[in-house]
Amino acid sequence: MTTRMTRQRAAVAEALDEQDEFRSAQQLHEVLRARGDSVGLATVYRTLQTFADAHEVDQLRNADGEVLYRRCERVEHHHHLVCRSCRRTIEIDGPTVEAWAAKVGAAHDFTDIDHTIELWGTCKDCRG
Amino acid sequence: MTTRMTRQRAAVAEALDEQDEFRSAQQLHEVLRARGDSVGLATVYRTLQTFADAHEVDQLRNADGEVLYRRCERVEHHHHLVCRSCRRTIEIDGPTVEAWAAKVGAAHDFTDIDHTIELWGTCKDCRG
DNA sequence: ACCAAGCGTGAGAATCGTTCTCATGAATCG
DNA sequence: CGATTCATGAGAACGATTCTCACGCTTGGT
């Protein structure tokens, strides 16, 4: 029931911290392998899921449906502007959209409103 | 190069029109089978993708990553408020968020801004 | 420190949605 | 009425993710 600290979890957390961009579980697994920390792929998946459940990392899906993870600067609720090409990420907050989402939900008598708001674009460097 | 009209495409289009909620390719395949229209699963997938590419149907992913399709009332760009449980859908438009998304993108020098904005909640009937 | 209890790990199998292959079928156009 | 060529379908293949289960290591109590 309790969460234990293991070499693997520490390694995943550390690898995650080194990334500036959103990364998939497989990419992180590769990063770990490259740096010499041997961690099973299944463990990487499990660990990331655990972190996400604990709101320690942010999670989103790219257009292909792959799940990407990232340790964000801010802990509070926020959204992202991600480069489709290099995945460079900018954290943004939108009090405007939060309010809008809540209002729309209430207007139609829906509860437990949750929203998926992500912006994708091409960053300056990837424009060529 | 040209798009041909086939029995299968007509069947998929018709089944789609009968749905009020977002449906997965497999669900639609089942609907077709139930009504007696035999259409291969691969064809259902292909057809839905084709429709989506032509902007004839809307497409989104649920929390599990499954792709869902729906023929919406309005053709113009809009978003959705979907019931997590029954997938009952309400089409919404948000001039506010559109402007916000564009502004945020421009502010960070990102181009070809595309946004994913979907609202999920529990509708009145599913609240129990 | 020592131990017992039980969560965590990993390799590979299993899932599952989706796409691909390729031989056959059927729109379409002249 | 062909000939052309896109469309179809059954099953194989794929790819991301999850599951299995025997073994190992963290942890909390002593």
H or E element, residue B56: none
| Domains, in order of start, for chain A | 1-71 (1.10.10.10), 76-128 (3.30.1490.190)
Residue pLDDT, tens place only, B66-82: 999 999 999 999 999 99
The first and second tokens of residue A11, run together, are 């390694």
The first and second tokens of residue B86, run together, are 């029954």
pTM of this prediction exceeds 0.85: yes
How many angstroms separate the CA atoms of A61 and B97, rounded? 20
Query: What's at A50, amino acid-wise?
Result: T
Q: Report whether A35 contacts A51 (CB < 8 A).
A: no
Residue A1's pLDDT is: 61
Residues paired with residue A60 on neighbouring β-strands, in sequence order = A68
A→B interface, C-beta within 8 Å: 61, 65, 67, 81, 83-84, 90, 92, 94, 96-97, 100-101, 104-105, 108-124, 127
- DSSP helix, strand, coil percent of chain B (3-state; round to 5): 40, 25, 35
Instruction: Report, in ranges, which bases of strand D sit under 7 Å from a protein C-beta.
Output: 5-11, 16-20, 25-28
Q: Give every strand in the sheet of B111-122, ordered side by side.
A: A89-92, A79-83, A111-122, B111-122, B79-83, B89-92
Which of chain B's residues have a Cβ under 8 Å away from the Cβ of A81?
104-105, 108, 110
Q: Report whether A118 contacts A79 (CB < 8 A).
A: yes
Residue pLDDT, tens place only, A29-66: 999 999 999 999 999 999 999 999 999 999 999 999 99
Q: CA of B41 and C1' of D12: distance in angstroms?
A: 14
